[in-house]
Structure 1
Amino acid sequence: MMARAGLTAERITRAAADLADEIGFDNVTMSALAKKFGVKDASLYSHVKNLRELRARVSMLAAAEKTALIADAVAGRAGRDALAAFADAWRGYARRYPGRYTATQTPVAPGVVEVDPAAARGVELTYGMLRAYGLTEPDLTDAVRLLRSTFHGYAALEASGGFAHSRDTDSSWERIIDALHVTLEQWPTRDKEQQ
């Protein structure tokens, strides 16, 4: 069959990512994917070991895509401008690719797939953007957690229709970025004796 001849791990992963955006990351199965290709499930297993590996591959692909978008968005920016570009790229990815975005929030178990350097690059981008605020450890890690929690929480609530109020969500988003910027500029410091 012609479809089988063109199968590769990369092609299967991209198709699984597309399917995740259509039906949800948790609903992607080897059978559903095989139907997309018009092949039997067994045809996929010669390229991808199992569903766990497939999901890990989608997670790594999505993380690389999201990181590339954020990197492009923040290039040459600093302070509030970089924060807003970072946040907008994050939210934009979550809105455009809901299944892939869910995959980025799924930890990849060690040894399932080779870890892509893009995952580390995403962390470096976040820490780099925050260093412009003059933060050092442990405050830097705390600030990363604040941003990730805020961006993910907003994206998840928005995706599930959790904002029923009549106020425009884009307006709220802008105010949240303003509030985060002020918080980061005025980050509370602690004496070393209190740490």
Structure 2
Amino acid sequence: MIGNIEEDALTQMQKEGYNIRQRDTVEDKYLEEAGVLLCDEDNQPTAEQLHNVGRLKVIGCFGKVSRKLAEAACEAGIIVFDDPKHNPRSDDFLPKRVIAFMNEGKTHTSCNFPDLQPPRVNNAHRLIHIHKNVPGILAKINDVFARHNINIVAEFLVTNEQIGYVITDVNTGYDTEVLEQLKAIAHTIKFRLLY
């Protein structure tokens, strides 16, 4: 957490089990380690700082995010939620959006990702694949599952001009080779096992 962040937001993130580090400014060494970044409008990372943040998945900004930062984050596979109207309820609403993305893959009200609100699927594993928006990626993802005899329970693809965002729910165990093959698909930006 960087800058002036409401205590309620801190409490919500701690309740979810996040280890919190509070800083006054964006420091590269901490940004490189972070999975989630909450910041205020005056303490946003620069687009350049996002080049070396392999673990960072989501930025929540209490205020308006610059267009340059939103686009750079999108290219890096990092979702951004902001609060351009400085809604007084955003101490509550912004952390909930960040947590919904981290726990379920929901991108609703993001300022740089296509909108997706997938229902939770029980007895399944959820995989997230973020890639450059080029034709044929979904077919390659599904080919990996087919070759390993993995049944797809549900699958969602949404795109914007820059990226494709795929959530796949599968109902079976799989070995790590499957995950490595999904990461190795050409044009993959980020891939992660959600649950």
TM range (shorter): under 0.3
- Which structure shows the higher helix fraction? 1
Q: Which has the higher contact order (CA 8 A, sep 6+)?
A: 1
TM-score (norm 2): 0.26
